[in-house]
Amino acid sequence: MKIAIYPGTFDPITNGHLDVVERASELFDEVIIALARNSQKSPLFRESERLELIQASIAECFPQRANIRADAFQGLLVEYAVSRNATAVVRGLRALSDFEYEFQMALMNRKLAPQITTVFLMPHEEYTYLNSTIIRELARYGKDVSDFVPKVVAQALKEKFEVKYH
Ligand code: COA
């Protein structure tokens, strides 16, 4: 059983992330989308909200795929991966600008746990320019983001900013 972890902050999950998940689910027996703590970020959505959005996005986008699930963890990614018997960590590479940070993380993770391999997947080029910050920014100014995120996420963003500003 080949298990892969796809970690991230997912604030919120986007179609770009889901494109990576779909590709990974064709390569591995099980893919765990794992909500991680990134100490550099202060997310808009609470951890429980982000996890619910990931779960709802899996149900919306991959109703037929039984090998994708969501989870959250604290602490080091590689320790979590070992605890789940995973052999790989999946990360998306959108552009050259992602490379340096990803390379650094992958090498550190390999130093910490040589048995875990980082696998980079390229999302579809239509998602190259996407990230969660841009999505939050568009939603904050009332723009429809439903071309870029699952319906449940677009709705949650709408509600979040309505509550925040009204
Ligand atoms: N499509 C769209 N957007 C994408 C994307 C894709 N395919 N891939 C990445 N992104 C975006 C994300 O939305 C995010 O955007 P934002 O910064 O605007 O919010 C950004 O690119 C990168 O974020 P993400 O993929 O969520 O990763 P991250 O950098 O927040 O995650 C962790 C890093 C969580 C994996 C890392 O901090 C970690 O492993 N933490 C656990 C602690 C640990 O082990 N630390 C040691 C690491 S060596």
CA distance 159 to 102: 33
Annotated active-site positions, please? 17, 41, 94, 132
CA distance 137 to 141: 7
Q: 117-121 and 68-72 as β-strands: parallel, antiparallel, unpaired?
A: unpaired
77 lines ligand 1 (CB under 6 A): yes
Q: What is the pLDDT of residue 166?
A: 56
11 lines ligand 1 (CB under 6 A): yes
Q: What is the pLDDT of residue 39?
A: 83
131 lines ligand 1 (CB under 6 A): yes
Q: What is the pLDDT of residue 38?
A: 81
Evaluate whether 160 touches 45 at the Cβ level (below 8 Å).
yes
17 lines ligand 1 (CB under 6 A): yes
CA distance 61 to 84: 24
Ligand 1 atom closest to residue 36's alpha carbon, by position in its atom list: 34
DSSP string, 49-108: HHHHHHHHHHHHH-TT-SSEEEEE--S-HHHHHHHTT--EEEEE--SHHHHHHHHHHHHH
Evaluate whether 42 touches 50 at the Cβ level (below 8 Å).
no
Centre of ligand 1 to C-alpha 54, Å, is 14
Centre of ligand 1 to C-alpha 8, Å, is 4
**Domains, the chain, with CATH or none:** 3-165 (3.40.50.620)
For the chain (length 166 residues), average pLDDT per consecutive 10? 97 97 98 92 95 98 96 97 98 90 97 98 93 96 95 97 71
